Structure formats: C-alpha cells, structure tokens
C-alpha cells in the first residue's frame, strides 16, 4: 500500500480546538516574543500563536504544506521551507530581531526526530526561554523521570540538569489525523540559570552516563568496570559518595551522580577510558 506524504514524514495533525488552546496556554506567547514552530503542518497551532506573539516562524519540510500555509496569509508569520534539524536556529532568532530571552521553540514533534531535536535543544540551551513540545508520551515520561523509575535514564539527567522539565497533560491518539499508534504528551523545558552541577567536559559526562546505564540489570559498579574503570577506584568512589556497592544507576539521584563523576574524573583518565563510548548527546537521547 502506498503511503501518503504526511504518513511518510511521520506527520499526525492535531486540530482539536480545546487541546490546541491548552497547548497555547503552556507556550504562553507574549506580544514581544518570537515563536519558532517545528513543523506547523496545516497551521492550526500557528494561527493561534500568531494572534498573541510578536512573530511566528514556522519551519516546515513538506513542500505541499508550504503552499497551504502561505495561502492562509497568517499575520506576523513567516514560513521557512526546510528541515528543522538542519535550520540555523540562532540565525532565525537574530534575523527576526527578537530581544535576548524573547524566543521560544514549540511544536508537534514527529517521533522519528524527537531524539536529534532534543540533542540540538541541549546544544543550544541558552537560545530559548522556553521549549514546549507535543511528543510521544513514553518519551515525555523519560524526560521527566526521577530516580527509582524504570524510565529514569541518561536522557532524564542530561535534560533535568539543564532544564526544569514539566509534563503537563496527555493527548489521546484519537485526537490526531491520522491517529498515531501511541499516546502523546505536552512537555515544557525551561532553561535553568545554571546547570544543576557544572562540568568542564559535557561530552565526557554524556559518555560517562551512557556507560553507567549500559546494562540496566547490572549494578552501577559493574557497568563502570565493564567500561574499563578500575574496580578498586570505582568501589572507593561509591563509598565516598555514600552509595551502596550494589546500587544500580537508575537509583542514583542527579546530585550524587555528579559527585561520583567528579571523583572518578579526578582519580583516573576518564576521557581516555571512555573515548568512543557515545559522547554525542543524541546517543543518550534515544
């Protein structure tokens, strides 16, 4: 069976007025703000944002939707034909004339681009005052998960280290056309003034977290040893951080993970041991 262009691009359009207004309330567009919308689709959310924001820039990949969007002649709205993952977000903000701290990123995100999009959000965390995404519910739960949860993962820590993450409400699959196979959720990311804990080498932190969670059924110590860290050094660092020898990575809060990372980084050549171990943020946003 031949798939439609929208289906091929992973597009599921939301047009329910009540839900769209709830999303707008989370985005909270202001008269002095720029909103960059990811994949405006048919423009249902775009039209509501344009009523309140100073300017809306929609980045749309589907050329057929570009024609539809431009034909709507929405006020204070520009449509850019391109891939949001390849677009120069900083240039879009600068060219719009938006003041510092007066730009937001929002949209209904196809699951296929959720991981690379979140990786870029991490890399450009100082660019937007708020990010609001409608994403797959399971993915949203991973963003917001805390220690002790089976969904708690490197993704949870990397995002919560840099952002205040809030899951607002779920959206039934039946609210979309065509309906996806899974439920969705609206999540917001508000940048922290400073990360929960500072590090000099963020790619190394990413590689460390990836190693720590490599095998969820194994202990944290076992995972780090398998990654090449000396057993005695790992045991000593765990003890210094007040962590039990048999603790699993998913049980360790962000702050205690920070202390463990700092101790191990000062004790062993961590960057050499973990080289090639997945330092790209997208490697743990999957």
pLDDT tens readout for residues 16-37: 899 999 999 999 999 999 999 9
Instruction: Report pTM.
Output: 0.90
At 275 the pLDDT is: 81
**pLDDT(186) > 50:** yes
Q: Tell me which CATH homologous superfamily contains domain 202-284.
A: rRNA adenine dimethylase, C-terminal domain (1.10.8.100)
The pair of three-digit structure tokens given for residue 214, joined into one six-digit string: 């490599």
Domain(s) labelled CATH 1.10.8.100 in the chain stretch across 202-284
5-191: CATH topology is Rossmann fold (3.40.50)
At 7 the pLDDT is: 44
**Three-state SS annotation for 176-241:** EECCCCCCEEEEEEEECCCCCCCCCCHHHHHHHHHHHCCCCCCCHHHHHHHCCCCHHHHHHHHHHC
pLDDT tens readout for residues 206-240: 999 999 999 999 999 999 999 999 999 999 999 99
pLDDT tens readout for residues 235-272: 999 999 999 999 999 999 998 999 999 999 999 999 99
At 5 the pLDDT is: 46
Domain(s) labelled CATH 3.40.50.150 in the chain stretch across 5-191
């Amino acid at each position: 069976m031949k798939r439609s262009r929208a289906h091929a691009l992973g597009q599921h359009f939301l047009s329910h007025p009540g839900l769209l207004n709830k999303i707008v309330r989370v985005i909270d567009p202001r008269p002095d703000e720029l909103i960059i919308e990811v994949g405006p689709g048919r423009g249902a959310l775009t039209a509501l944002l344009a009523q309140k924001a100073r300017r809306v820039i929609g980045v749309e990949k589907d050329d057929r939707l570009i024609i539809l969007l431009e034909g709507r002649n929405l006020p204070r709205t520009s449509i850019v034909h391109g891939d949001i993952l390849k677009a120069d977000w900083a240039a879009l903000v600068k060219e719009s004339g938006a003041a510092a701290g007066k730009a937001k990123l929002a949209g209904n995100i196809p699951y296929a681009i959720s991981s690379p999009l979140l990786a870029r959000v991490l890399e450009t965390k100082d660019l937007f005052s708020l990010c609001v995404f409608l994403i797959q519910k399971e993915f949203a739960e991973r963003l917001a998960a805390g220690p002790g949860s089976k969904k708690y993962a490197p993704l949870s820590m990397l995002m919560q280290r840099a952002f205040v993450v809030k899951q607002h409400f779920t959206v039934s699959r039946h609210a979309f056309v065509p309906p996806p196979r899974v439920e969705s959720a609206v999540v917001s990311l508000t940048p922290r003034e400073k990360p929960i804990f500072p590090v000099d080498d963020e790619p190394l932190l990413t590689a460390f977290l990836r190693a720590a969670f490599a095998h969820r059924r194994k202990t944290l110590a076992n995972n780090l040893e398998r990654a090449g860290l000396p057993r005695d050094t790992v045991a000593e660092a765990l003890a210094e951080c007040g962590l039990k020898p048999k603790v699993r990575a998913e049980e360790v809060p962000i702050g205690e993970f920070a202390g463990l990372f700092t101790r191990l980084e000062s004790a062993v050549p961590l960057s050499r041991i973990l080289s090639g171990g997945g330092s790209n943020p997208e490697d743990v946003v999957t």
